[in-house]
Structure 1
Amino acid sequence: MLLRLDKTDTRPLHEQVAAAIRRAIAEGECRAGDRLPSARDLSTALDINANTVLRGLRELRDEGLLEFRRGRGITVAEGAARRSGLQIRVRELVAEASRLGYSRTDLIDMIRGVT
């Protein structure tokens, strides 16, 4: 898995790490059951602090995209590609709604109206 961070990106580094892994899952570079490099190895490769990488990994674990297992490391969860792809589209939708002046509440109301 080859991850790169954009040094000109203004988002916090842990969000960039999570986004890069999310993208790798959505694009099929990482599949369910694949083991990720350790946080230490990722931090060395990305030239950032290991705690920053761990924060991004924990975010993905909380989203259900990664599983942390003692002795087995960090693996991509079953169904992660579907969830990741949907989460990317949802984030894009929220960003577009914000750009157009809609609040999250407005967006939620719109979604509830679609049935």
Structure 2
Amino acid sequence: MTSAPDPNITDPSGFQEAGAPLYARIRARLKLAIASGEYAQGDHLPPADELARKYGANKNTILRALRLLRSEGVIDFGRGRGAVVLHSAQRVELADLSVQLRQFVRLADESGIPRGAIISAIQRMPRVPAGARGGSGRNREWC
């Protein structure tokens, strides 16, 4: 199944991090997916050619992003083995969330939702205890 490139990565509107190279944005998206539990410890990431189609990048760009994640100790990969998640409960920095946050705010702005309403909704959300975040998170509902 062929999917369209992820617009959050290749969006030409410039809404993502200004000047950030594509491989760095892909690294951030993959790191966030791992940290959020989309890929749990021991899971294999999709093959590089599949990631390349998803993110609208060439395979070398994907491999560069994967090498960064390997150097950070998040994944391990090698030819013929695929990329395996080593640690899925890594701390995520605000910079890692910035692309998704900007997309969310832009969508809210375009939908006419006041930013104050978004902030209020976030403040009302219960905190998730660290121990309650286990598992793959693939079927988890976010409120």
Question: Given the alignment of the two structures, is residue 18 of structure 1 paired with residue 22 of structure 2, yes or no?
Answer: no
Q: Deviations over 1:46-105 (max 9, x none)?
A: 11111111111100000000011443211101xx223x31xx33868xxxxxxxxxxxxx
Q: Deviations over 1:7-62 (max 9, x none)?
A: 22221100111100110111111101101111111111211111111111100000
Aligned partner letter, 1:32: Q
Normalising by the residue count of structure 2, what TM-score does the alignment of the two structures yield? 0.53
Unaligned stretches of 5+ residues in structure 2: 1-5, 97-143
Where do 4+ consecutive residues of structure 1 move more than 4 Å?
none
Distance 1:33 1:69 in 2: 15
Q: Give the secondary-structure state (helix, strand or coil) at the position aligned to 2:53.
A: helix
Normalising by the residue count of structure 1, what TM-score does the alignment of the two structures yield? 0.64
Which structure 2 residues correspond to residues 13-92 of structure 1 after superposition, within 5 A? 13-77=22-86, 80-82=87-89, 84-85=90-91, 88-89=92-93
Unaligned stretches of 5+ residues in structure 1: 93-115
Report the structure, 1 or 2, having the larger helix content: 1
Aligned to 1:5: 9
Percent identity reads: 36
What's the Cα RMSD here? 2.1
Per chain length, whose mean CA-contact separation is higher, i.e. which structure has more relative contact order (CA < 8 Å, sep 6+)?
Answer: 2
Distance 2:62 2:25 in 1: 9
Aligned partner letter, 1:48: A
Distance 1:69 1:52 in 2: 16
